[in-house]
Structure formats: C-alpha cells, structure tokens
Structure 1
Amino acid sequence: MDVELRHLRAFLAVARNLSFTQAARELSVSQPCLTRSIQRLESSLGSRLLDRTSRIVSLTPTGQYLLDHTQRLLAMLDSTLNAVRNSGTLRLGFSWLLPDPWAQQAIADFESSTSCQVELLRRDTPTAGIELGEVDVAVVRRIPMTKDVVVIPLFEEPRVAAVSITSPLARRRSLNWREFKDWPLVVNTVSGSTRPDDWEEGGAPEQVVTCGNYDEWLELVAANRGVGVAPSSTSRRSHHSGVRFLSIKSAPPICVYLVHSPNAQHPLLGAFLESAMVNTRQGME
C-alpha cells in the first residue's frame, strides 16, 4: 500500500479545516499539490475520504474513521520523533539543593556513557517541573500528592536544624526531635522536606511559619521567625551569615526520590535512572 506520511498529513489538515484553501495555507503548499496528495491517498486506500463541491468539503464515514484513528497515531509519532530529536539533552529538575556527591557523580557517569548532556533546571513546584512538562526527571524530597508521577526511592539523608544566630538556640550543639513542639517551625509548603505531620501525634510544633521556596525559608530562619529543618547537605552547602545549623537527635531521616511522568518519552531516561541507582548502591557500600 503506497501511503506516505505526507499524504496522511495532507488529509488531516483538510479534515480539520474542512477547507482545501485553509489546509494548503497551514501546510505551506499549493492547492493543486494538496489535491494530488488527497487523490493519491484515496487511490491507495481504494476509498473516498472526502465529499467536496465547489463550496463545501465534508468527511465520508470512511474519512471520519481515518481521521479518528490517524490523528492519534500521528500525534504519538510526532511525540516520539520529538523525543528522539531532543535526546541530546535530558532535563533534570530540582527545587533546591541537589544531594551531593550523588547528583554530581550520577550526572557525570550518565553523560560519559551516553554523550547526552544533563540540563539542570530549578522549578519551585511539588514535582520540580514534572507536572508542567518542563523537565524529563526530577529530584524531590517528599512524595508528591499527585498520582500522575512515577516515584523511585533513592536513599535517605539525616536531618539538621537551622536556627538564627540571634536565637538562644544558636548556643547549643544539637537539638532533640521532641523539642521542636516548643518553637515555631518554618515550612516551605511547596518543595520543603519537613512538615508538622513528620512528628508523632502530640509532638509537632504548634506554630508554623510558611513560605514558598528555599530562599524564603532561609531568610525567614535568619530573621528568627522560627526554626527550620532540612537535609544534612544543606549545612554543607548553604552559607548564610545569619543562620547556624545544628544536629538533631532522634530525628527520622529524609528520603530522596526521583520522579518522572508515566508517559515520559525521552529515549535515554532509562539510562539516567540506571546511573542514578548504580550511584545510590555505590554510596551505600
């Protein structure tokens, strides 16, 4: 059957517009060329797809059937081709500090084995850009509430406390997890790793100061609006003159996850996930 993609795309354009003039304009071809493509398609299929007069274009029942099925198939084909076309870059989302040294090593190993470059994109959303289609895979420290993502647990990080240097707590070396109910807790409600429901019943902080991203969280702690809780990597990589980090006794760890869309199209996503898991296992050895 001598049917080419250009014939199908010509048919879809006419079927959507119900006008040869508008379809030709959409495809940037001449009307005679478009007419020949439709005639070639109908001849190859042995069926009339369009009823046309000098003024009106309409779909035959066979044409409607072809439209319903071909439109979906070509959309899938275009999505696949775009994924291959963009396979030279994989977009990794994060909402704040990537865990180290895991992230740097996983990225380096993936780029070395695939020649694909990882583009790092900060997105202050619960899934670090997955739900907006802005990234291919993302690192998060809380399981998103949405069910429209695949969640892959990686490893756990210890928690540390962040306090203002003007707070009396800054004179201490450590805090106990059960003590936090006595102080306001600064919570990044969008992408933060710690919330009141992380404490057992009766032990959660009674007062919560909310914000929407990591930078606001850090500044609220520095201003002594409350105490913050974050992964231990924060204490190594955040250098704010107004904040001091303390260890926390008896605190449950924070889990790090990779998330991606169940409909993810990037052809090298599997290779990145494998690199991530290999470096996770090596870090545990």
Structure 2
Amino acid sequence: MDLELRHLRAYLALCDEGNYTRAAQRLHVTQPSLTRTIQQLERILDTRLVERTSRRFDLTDDGVEFRVHARRILADLDTVCAELQLRAAVAVGFSWLLPDTWFADVRTRFEAVGGHVEIHRVDDPIAALTARTIDIALYRKQIRLPRTLAAREIATERRVLAVSAESPLAHAGNLRWDDLATYPLVVNTISGTTDETSWPTRLPGRQVIECTNFDEWIELVAADRGIGAVPELARTRAPHPGVVYRDIPDAPPSHLYLIWRTDPAPSRSVRRFLDTA
C-alpha cells in the first residue's frame, strides 16, 4: 500500500487531538477506522509512531519527526491547490453585445484575486453550456431551463426599436409599443430578446421572419423585411448604415441572465465568478 493524503490528515488530527475518539469525531469516521488508518501508516513507514499505552497518548521520536514533515507537506499542498484554484480560468459565453461596462468591472475584480476569464462568442450559449464548452452563459432570453441549469437575473436593459433606414417608421413621431404590433417582425429564435409574444396581444396572421443569430437579424432589418427590438446597447455597439434605432418610451425592458450548470456542481472558480458578478 502506498502512502496517501488520508494517512497524513488522520495522523495530524490524532496528534492535534491527542485522543482517538476526538480525532475520529473531527474526521467524521469511526474510532476503529481511524485506528486501522494509523496502523496502516505505521506499516507503510515501517516504524512505530504512537506509543501504545492505556494511560496517556504519546508519540515516539519517529512520530514527532514525522508530524513535522506531515504538517509541512499538507500545508505546502494546500497552498499550491489554493493558488491554482485562484488562477483557474472561467469560460464565459455570449451570443452578441457583451455588456461592456458591467463585464469589465466583473472581470477586473475577478482577475484581481488571481482568476482568469476566457470570453467566447457563440451562436447558442445554452447549447455551449450543455456541451460544457463554456462554464457560464450570458443570455438575454427568458426560457424554461433544464433541471441541470440555473439562472440569475443580473440586469435589465432598455429596449429600442430597430427599423430599416428606408422604413417610414425611421422618421415617424410619437411611436408607442402597441403601435408596432401589426408590423412584420424579424425574430432571432436562438438568442433574440423580442418575438411575437413580447406584445400583450398576439395578432393572428402577423408575419414573422425567423433567423438564428444577430448578424442575420440586423441584415434582415436593414433589408426592410421587418422590424425588430433589441437592448439599447445595440445603438452604440452595433451601428449599421441601413438600420435606425428608435426610442420607444413604453417598450418593455429586456432582461440579462447568468446561466450555469448545477449538475455536476459548479467548480470553486465558477462559484467565485458568480459571487463577483
């Protein structure tokens, strides 16, 4: 049998407590199990570490020397593990328009304690999360998640209308959200924030043009195939010569979520990122 960390931890617990019963309770094992572990350790080292006496607990000279080395080994190992865990990378996936100010702040604080953030642009963050190619997804679509995923809302964003520069809506005045319910609608079915259910009343026969990513969506809007609505961030982050963004005072906000896997349980670095975010 080879020497294992459990032998060292059991031995140090016994040294600290000076009593088999208390040491077993501290380790959440039975006293006979602890006794067997210490006996295994002595056989591996081929020396007696603990004096066998019913009156008191005492260590042999070899036991005292081994205690010093065992404590140093575990301390060094714990330090290395903690440093590596702090430096562990967390892969964050997003489909479009990363919220720059928020993300820059979170990344700065997370990396200040030794972590590292990898950024991945993916068409479908939920699929990437399920496939374990990313650790955390930034998502703007409220959907029913499988039981293996969890979500936390971290922000709301103002929603603006996006129309073709050739559309009469590009220059129309006093637009309200309900005024837009009859227009053809361009919908990004994978990661878009707006679809026909975004209006209180769903009109039968409304034309819906579907696509699967932001690039297709904005080109369809520019081609005047329909209108769209996106977070206000698009106005500065995704300008397009063929698209005009309009403020709609009563437009419902969109929501920004962090989504992560719960099965298996998230790593320590992922939990730290979530706490930072």
TM over 0.5: yes
How many angstroms does 1:100 deviate by? 3.3
Q: Letter of the 1:125 partner, please give it.
A: D
CA distance in 1, matches of 2:137, 2:275: 14
Alignment of 1:161-180 (within 5 A): 161-172=161-172, 175-180=175-180
Alignment of 1:17-28 (within 5 A): none
Larger radius of gyration: 2
Per-residue CA deviations over 1:36-94 (Å, capped at 9, x if unaligned) read: xxxxxxxx9xxxxxxxxxxxxxxxxxxxxxxxxxxxxxxxxxxxx9xx67953110000
Q: Residues 273 and 184 of structure 1: is their aligned pair in 2 closer, same or farther, counting only changes over 3 Å? A: same
Counterpart of 1:260 in structure 2 is 260
**Structure 2 spans left out of the alignment, 5+ residues:** 6-43, 45-80
Counterpart of 2:122 in structure 1 is 123
Q: Tell me the SS of whatever aligns to 1:153.
A: strand
How many angstroms does 1:155 deviate by? 1.5
Counterpart of 1:41 in structure 2 is none
Counterpart of 1:35 in structure 2 is none
Q: Tell me the SS of whatever aligns to 1:268.
A: helix
How many angstroms does 1:128 deviate by? 6.2
User: Which has the higher mean CA deviation after the structures are superposed, 137-146 or 254-263?
Assistant: 137-146
User: Which has the higher mean CA deviation after the structures are superposed, 175-184 or 90-99?
Assistant: 175-184
Q: Tell me the SS of whatever aligns to 2:175.
A: strand
2:100 aligned with 1:103, yes or no? no
Counterpart of 1:194 in structure 2 is 194
Q: Letter of the 1:179 partner, please give it.
A: D
How many angstroms does 1:265 deviate by? 3.9
Q: Tell me the SS of whatever aligns to 2:274.
A: helix
Contact 2:94 2:125 survives alignment (8 Å): no
User: Structure 1-normalised TM-score?
Assistant: 0.64
Per-residue CA deviations over 1:109-157 (Å, capped at 9, x if unaligned) read: 1111x22221110111152621111111111011333313111111111
Q: Tell me the SS of whatever aligns to 2:123.
A: coil
CA distance in 2, matches of 1:182, 1:141: 24
CA distance in 1, matches of 2:230, 2:85: 39
Counterpart of 2:51 in structure 1 is none
Q: Residues 150 and 239 of structure 1: is their aligned pair in 2 closer, same or farther, counting only changes over 3 Å? A: same
Q: Letter of the 2:144 partner, please give it.
A: M
Counterpart of 1:138 in structure 2 is 137
User: Structure 2-normalised TM-score?
Assistant: 0.66
Counterpart of 1:91 in structure 2 is 91
CA distance in 2, matches of 1:86, 1:166: 52
CA distance in 2, matches of 1:255, 1:204: 26
Q: Tell me the SS of whatever aligns to 1:183.
A: coil
Q: Tell me the SS of whatever aligns to 2:247.
A: strand
User: Which has the higher mean CA deviation after the structures are superposed, 191-200 or 156-165?
Assistant: 191-200
Q: Letter of the 1:218 partner, please give it.
A: I
Q: Letter of the 2:93 partner, please give it.
A: G
Q: How many residues align?
A: 199
Give runs of ≥4 in structure 1 deviating > 6 Å: none
